[in-house]
Homo-oligomer: A and B are copies of this chain.
């Protein structure tokens, strides 16, 4: 199966955004063992799009479109394909219902343009959009597979992962199946991890192992081809054991786990409550925890003490301590963790202080961060020296704190999940 990815949108040709959808789709297809031979980008122009489709049909049997499914009149991907393939557009009742519900809830008028988003190619499998209003489509015609996806990555990526990928896998596997399992690591760089398991990477065939780094995390995707699920899992688990025997201590989770979800699971599992006092992260740590449903079983709350006054008046950090050691100090982080824990009556208290940047803060250079973690009466602190931009530093601080917390709890003998 050979694929071409056609991205539709004048904003790409004007250089306003990069074609990250093609990158994402390509990496997903390569995991499935599907060759991608061409990417094409076309503007919001029916005539040029039609020509591009004809060219794609001459060189690919899987054609994936991104963009042009929206409500506006320069969104014409499905209209052009419908005309080109001579397939009528029909209303998808479920999509229409979702759209109408959305506008009723918003108390906004429903325009004809919005209803247009519920039109799908007759005979296509409709791909549900959980993050937007325009459904995707998978149509098989004339020995080719046409897949239409919405342009916004937030809508396209989950739709591809959960709707398209399984369908493609079963299309190509001819009885056999393809399974992927992701190992997630934190606290180790991509290059260092690769070096440690170089011999495994060099020897790979089935399963294949694909390292990927993003946001300070590293993932290894293990992909196995086999005749049965059981066989595929056997291959994957064998390789997984081999890898974790070397770099297991950096592994925090698998597949869709996040540092926040693992931390929350572990806190709930061990019936521990948590609170936090945040300066440079200003609520980002608590907000990351709150992304996980059910977090109310462990997150009581906390404080954002952004100014020195707030630290002193709201959190009771002694002014003398701040004068003696400074705001960006182990002592301040420890005191914040200790005091917020007492104030909120939780088992665990987190204290985060530092210089996010771009400016130095209280005499400390940008990127200097102190993390304090109070578990019961014990308080530990750790220093980070980051070199990113302001908001990268803030996010890294949160992620590092989560992985540090997980490891501390393990060391204290709490059950890992």
Contacts and interface: CB of A to CB of B under 8 A. Distances in A.
Contact of A301 (B59, B212, B304): B304
B40 A48 contact: no
Interface stretch (A66-74, A84-92, A169-177): A66-74
A282 B299 contact: yes
A221 to B, nearest CB: 7
A36 interface: yes
B310 A111 contact: no
Contacts of A101: 387
A191 interface: yes
Nearest to A311: B301
A351 B29 CA distance: 45
Contacts of A300: 306-307, 309-310
Contacts of A285: 283
Interface string A179-199: 010000000011110110000
Contacts of A23: 12, 15-19
A27 B14 contact: yes
Interface in A340-396: 343-344, 356-359, 367, 385-392, 394
Interface string A12-50: 111111111011111111100000111111110100100
Contact of A190 (B16, B51, B71, B105): B71
A223 B14 contact: yes
A401 B397 CA distance: 26
A321 B130 CA distance: 36
A253 B303 CA distance: 30
B314 A344 contact: yes
Given A16-B27, A71-B190, A282-B289, 12 more contacts: A15-B24, A37-B42, A38-B41, A40-B40, A71-B194, A102-B387, A131-B388, A282-B286, A282-B290, A299-B307, A300-B306, A301-B310
